[in-house]
Each structure stands twice: as structure tokens, then as C-alpha cells.
Amino acid sequence: MSTIRKYAGLLRPQRRAEWSIGIYEGASPLELAPLERLGTSAVLTRHSLRGLRAHGVADPFMVRRGDDWFMFFEVDSLESGRGEIGLAASHDTISWHFEGIVLREPFHLSYPHVWEFEGAHYMLPETSAFGAVRLYKADPFPTCWKFHAELVRGNLVDATPVRHGGKWWFMALEGFGSHDAFVIYFTDRLEGPWQPHPLNPILSHDKRHARPAGRIVFVQGSMIRFAQDYEKHYGRLVHAFRVEELTTTSYVEKSIGDPVLRPAGHGWNASGMHHVDAHQLGPNRWLAAVDGRRTVRRWPLHERAVERVRRYDAGR
């Protein structure tokens, strides 16, 4: 058998999802559309990484300091085969400069939820591959992040923190792909100890509403949580819910209705969207980092590698 025929499967183009990041705006985080000055363009793609090879970028979270914006996001690295946390900076939220990888672990990282509290910056990335929810702290911000505390052990995905009623809470997906449950934990101190909500699981076997899809926000006093819909395929839509009651003994939420993010049908977010990080800039003015996917055809082996295989086979 020739070498080419032996590796024929590797030489065929394959279809895969390619994730990119865009900026949306609107009168509220429930009424978002592409930033007018950007049109239908993404602000960060796998080609924005200054030579770093990656399948794509996703899960953006932004922090504003003065006139500067900092965005943290997952880089699906081709080098390590894992998710790593990248950083980009901008003065106008239109042009973003990739600053590099700021957090890398021997396990997969994504969903780098970053926020400021009492003068310090914290990150709660997705670390379910380690089997725990792990909290990191900047020292210094924004380029250096150090492990700070282990909050909860278990298979918890996309833990999303929020400060409410004098307590810390996080909402997460438990058992992705098995029982797809929406769960809540709470504590008095950020470092813990964290307690499971007595109503857990709030939702179970629910691929439309259980998995968090970005930062929890407050709109006119109402808490809004976002959830990604992956019932038909991963990363399809984003739904919104108004949290009407959240205490250590109760939880009530109500669906807001139509999805707040959906595939555009063309371009960088043609086939799906699954994340929103919204920030209020003023009355009836919100800005959001979002991500989206398109399906592309990729050659698993670079053309030059294919040519080397052909030459090797010819010289046998």
C-alpha cells in the first residue's frame, strides 16, 4: 500500500467549527445587534493571534479600566491541544491587539469570567477537566494570574459568579452530556466554604437552558442570566432569563422569550452563537462581547507536509 493511500484519511479536507469574537451594542443586553461601525466583521479571529496557531477564539469577557478595555478569552490552541486564556486590549472596542497567553495549565481552560472586587481582579475560568472550580487572582493585572483558591470539587462547567444580597453565588452546568443539570452554590466569602443550593438541581436533563452563557447582569434592578442552547448542536443560541427570586432556600426565574443571540446565516457567526458579556455604558446604551461559529473545511495536514509524503512515497 502506498504511503499516500495509507494516510488518505488525513489528506482529505474535514469540516469543523471555527469560533470568532465580535462586538454588539444595543439599548439593553436583551436587544443587541452588531456594532454599526464594524458591520458584519469579527474583532478577533484565529488569524489575530500573531502567529500563534489555534482552531479559534471564544468565550470573551471584558474589563474596563479608564479608557482602556481588556478582553480575556479562550484560545483553542493547536500547539497544546487544549484551551488557554488569551488577552487582547483596545482603546475603542473596535481595534483589538492580541497581547498573548496569560494563563496556561496542563488541563483545558475556557470561559475566563473576570471581574473586579474591592480593588482586586479575579478570574473564574472553566476548569472542569481538573475536576474542580478554581479561582485565580491577578498579580499584577492584566497579564499575570495566580491560583487563589479551590471553590468546589466536581464536574461543574462554566461557573458564573454574581454578588447578590450580601453573598457570593455561582451558577453552573453539572454533568455536561450526561444529566445536563443547572446548579447553584453560595457563600459569604469568595474563597468559601461554598454550599450547594438545597433545590439543586434547579434544572435537569435540559440542553436548552441549563448551561451558562456569559456574565450575569442587572437591568433596572432585575438580575438577568444567559443560557446557551445546545439541544440540536453545540453553541447554537443564547436565551435570557429574569431571576425573580434568589435566596439560600429558593430560586425562581422566568424566560424572557425569544433568543437574544442567534446565528446570522453567513459570515463569522453563520452557524451559531453561545456567549454574551454585556456592559452598561450609559442610559439605554450597552456594549457586549459575543462569540460565533462558522463551519469551515480544513486540511488536517499542511500542503507542504502532503508534498513531503508524496516525495517520500515516490522515492521508496
Phi, psi dihedral angles at 271 (to 5 degrees): -115, 0
Residue-wise pLDDT tens digits, 6-47: 555 555 667 788 999 999 999 999 999 999 888 889 999 999
Copy the grid coordinates of residue 77.
490552541
36 CB contacts (<8 Å, ≥6 apart)? Answer: 25
Residue 26: count other Cβ atoms within 10 Å of its Cβ. 18
Domain range for 103: 3-314
Domains of the chain: total = 1
What is the rounded distance in angstroms from the CA atom of residue 223 to the CA atom of residue 216? 7
In this prediction, residues 126-154 reach a mean pLDDT of 98
Residue-wise pLDDT tens digits, 205-255: 999 999 999 999 999 999 999 999 999 889 999 999 999 999 999 999 999
Q: What is the pTM of this model?
A: 0.90
- Gyration radius (Cα) of the chain, Å: 21
- Looking up residue 54, the CATH number of its domain turns out to be 2.115.10.20
User: How far, in Å, are 10, 101, 167, 291 from residue 82 at the CA level?
Assistant: 21, 12, 33, 18
